[in-house]
Amino acid sequence: MKESFDGLVIRESSYGDSDVLLTVLTSEHGKITLTAKGARSQKSKLSSLRRLFTYANFECYEKYGKRWISGGSVNESFFGLGSDIVGFALASYIIQLASELSGEEVRAESVLRVTLNTLYAIEKKLKPHALIKCAYEIFAAEESGITPDTSACAYCGCTENGKGFWLDVMNGRVVCAECHTKNGAGAAIAPTDSFMTQNILVPIDEGCMAAWQYVSRADPKRIFAFSLTSSESMAMLARATETYIVNHLEKSFEALEFYNGVKE
């Protein structure tokens, strides 16, 4: 059976002497594995399709229960990502997250669309790296159904507080500084909860909370259209979204360590 579809290469590995296995994120089939026979050879007509970050139209056929690439054409290579190490590191982390957000033969329309928009924003330097990363992590939380309630303090319902807020990571909520002090010794914000998982609290302010809510509900094209009033707020949001996603997905990302090692 022959088929063709658009997909983004999110993983590439050698297979045998000259073949390449690609993990490709598609709208229709989610995350799928394609074999590119002989693609490691420079002469192969498939060699342009095998590079990481390539968004292409793949023509495939099925044989022995696997999908083999017979041809295709590149829609977008995101070639510019290779010219900046920080952007490259961030893009690598983004596709690792995209892989976590998608499954085999599960439609992945919005994950693919937002991932492509994000790679474009990194390549064209449309926004600072930190902001792009925060937005994608907030999208990842939303896509995984684990968005925290950042609308108000979970205890008193206040939306403003001169002393700031804490993001209660494992409970997916925020607590104002006052309620945190009041309840700090109680069961609610004790070091471990009823499942004996460690509570993780990260400082967060009103601007971060508004940004989080904005991105969660934003049209995929508009997820980067926010700003924070100070670099301190931006740093706070960056720490909050990263801590949140890493702890909820219970995964460490090689590319995230790489990014954190090279970022400005």
- Residue ranges in contact with Zn ion by CB under 5 A: 153, 155-156, 176, 179
CB-count exposure of residue 48 (10 Å: 0-12, 13-18, 19+): middle
| Residue number with CB closer to Zn ion (120 or 155) | 155
Instruction: Locate 103 and state its tokens.
Output: 């499954």
Say how many C-beta atoms besides its own lie within 10 A of residue 221's C-beta.
10
Closest to Zn ion by CB, 72 vs 207, is 207
Report CA-CA distances (Å) from 91 to 43, 44, 97: 28, 26, 10
Sheet holding 201-204, edge to edge: 149-153, 173-176, 165-168, 201-204
Q: 69 in the Ramachandran plot: left (φ > 0), alpha (ψ -120 to 50) or beta?
A: beta
Which among 132, 177, 144 is positioned nearest to 250, based on CA atoms? 144
Q: Least distance from C-beta 166 to Zn ion, angstroms?
A: 10
Work out whether strand 2-15 and strand 66-76 pair parallel, antiparallel, or are unpaired.
Answer: unpaired
Instruction: Write down the least CB distance from residue 179 to Zn ion, Å.
Output: 3
If the CB atoms of residues 177 and 246 are measured against Zn ion, the closer one turns out to be: 177
Which residue, 240 or 256, has its beta carbon nearer to Zn ion? 240
Residue closer to Zn ion, measured from CB, 20 or 176: 176
Least distance (Å) between residue 181 CB and Zn ion: 10
Residue 202 in tokens: 């990260």
By beta-carbon proximity to Zn ion, the closer residue of 58 and 212 is 212
